[in-house]
Amino acid sequence: MVVRKAEVFREKQGINLLTGHRVQRIDPDNQTVSGTTREGKDFSAPYDRLLIASGASPIVPDLPGFDLPRVMALKSLDDGRKIKNFLADTPVKTVVIMGMGYIALEMCEALAALGITVDLVKPNPRFLPWLESAMAQAVKDEIESKGVGVHAGHRVECIEKTGEGLRVVCPDLTLNADMVLVGIGVTPNSHFAESAGLNMSVKQSVAVDRRMQTSRENIYAAGDCADAYHVVTGKKTWIPLALRANRAGWAVADNLSGKNVEIDGVAGSAVFKIFDLEVARTGLNVAEAIEFGFEAVEMMITSASRAHTYPGGSKLLVNMIADKASGRLLGAQMVGREGAAQRINAAAVALHNQMTVEHFSQTDLAYAPPFGPTWDPLLIAANQLLKKM
């Protein structure tokens, strides 16, 4: 995280940064924004061009007990400080995490490293449903081997306060905890944009074109509040990840300064570490490919992270998805103790360039025994996938 004090913007960059001001209304016809200050005073400001970069907020269910003091969500730096201070000041032996996404799993590892017993719970019966089933099972086995409870398929009805802490209540499961962390996802902060009449998109994100311009000429949106084009499907999507947010902000700045900049979109490339495993993905999984009308085929292979003659290697799982009709590569997933996090980038580049599996299978990927076998695992997967096409 890069954190700059307000004075840096004001004194060194000459930016009129107004902290403690909450924008509540946009008036596109009169080109003004208005709202209230932290002290409750009304304010209004005119604009020639407006950038909405309001981000996203954690989803917290509107259920009994989710407003209790020991129930927390993690999104902002302040959220992280609050959790860290609570752990420092309060004896915490058990934590229940609602959700099994990127943030939930990373927090699972961080809490387990502190010697805290962790239970994960969510309503969907499938653990990591976007991941190929054998890969998802490998990740689940890794987590459970560290003593973490994985409870998929359990809908939380409420959280109760007890004499010892909290009780998470499901129809067929009860979990006790000293703290509950809500990590079930985020939603775009777009309500005031919608109220202003701007077009909305996937999951109520703000609709933008490739120049990051909204449905109103002088209003732009970027970051986790805005949608994007998917480079594989060509359709609108909402994937709130850091690189897209940063790149979109630069694009808006270029367009506002007189340049004409368009950005291609996203492939949904993501990676996270969970205990000793790296989990990576880019593009579509097979279910998504079918949903978008592709004649999807997939290949799952098990390779090695290093040449078999070089010590210290481990198993590397690769799943590759393609369109049988066109031969085009649609996506890839990787799970292993090493070699997945950076290797997935090769597949992401292929997706951005709409390469076929055959074309990708001929790419000249680097080889050295400490980093992989002679045939890179991605190339092995591509060659095996070709046999099904």
The share of the chain scoring above pLDDT 70, in percent, equals: 99
Instruction: Indicate whether 310 pLDDT > 90.
Output: yes
**pLDDT per residue over 39-79, tens digit each?**
999 999 999 999 999 999 999 999 999 999 999 998 888 89
Q: 285, 344, 13, 299: which is closest to 131 by C-alpha?
A: 285
Q: Which of the listed ranges 13-27, 76-90, 342-356 does the model predict with the highest average pLDDT?
A: 342-356
Mean pLDDT of 380-388: 96
- Asked whether the CA dihedral 10, 13, 15, 18 is positive or negative, the reply is negative
Q: Where exactly are the structural domains of the chain?
A: 23-51+195-256, 71-186, 270-386
List the CATH code of the domain at 23-51+195-256.
3.50.50.60
Q: How confident is the model at residue 164 (pLDDT cuts 50, 70, 90)?
A: confident
Model confidence pLDDT, tens digit, residues 165-178: 999 999 999 999 99
Average per-residue pLDDT for the chain: 95
pLDDT at 77: 85
At residue 326 the predicted structure's pLDDT band, cuts being 50, 70 and 90, is very high
Work out the average pLDDT over 110-129.
Answer: 95
Residue 280 has pLDDT above 90, yes or no: yes
pLDDT (mean) for 81-110? 94
Distance CA 345, CA 360 (A): 13
* Average pLDDT of the residues in 303-312: 93
Q: Compute the distance between CA of residue 237 and CA of residue 203 in angstroms, rounded to an integer.
A: 9
pLDDT at 59: 93
pLDDT at res. 6 = 87
pLDDT of 129 above 80: yes
Sign of CA dihedral 131, 383, 354, 315: positive
DSSP H helical ranges for the chain: 6-7, 77-89, 102-113, 133-145, 191-195, 242-256, 286-291, 344-352, 357-361, 377-386
Query: Span 190-203, mean pLDDT?
Result: 96
Q: What percent of the chain has pLDDT over 90?
A: 93
Closest CA to 331 of 103, 132, 140: 132
> What is the C-alpha to C-alpha distance for residues 389 and 381, in angstroms, rounded to an integer?
13
Mean pLDDT across the stretch 90-117? 95
Given CATH 3.50.50.60, say whether it is the number of domain 71-186.
yes
pTM of the model: 0.91
pLDDT of residue 1: 58
Q: Is the pLDDT of residue 116 over 70?
A: yes
Provide CATH code, domain 270-386. 3.50.50.60
pLDDT at 2: 63
Query: Same CATH fold, 270-386 and 71-186?
Result: yes
Task: Express the helix, strand and coil content of the chain in percent, nearest 5 each.
Answer: 25, 30, 45
Q: Return d(Cα 45, Cα 35) in angstroms, integer.
A: 9
What does the DSSP assignment read for 225-256? TB-EEBTTT-SEE----HHHHHHHHHHHHHHH
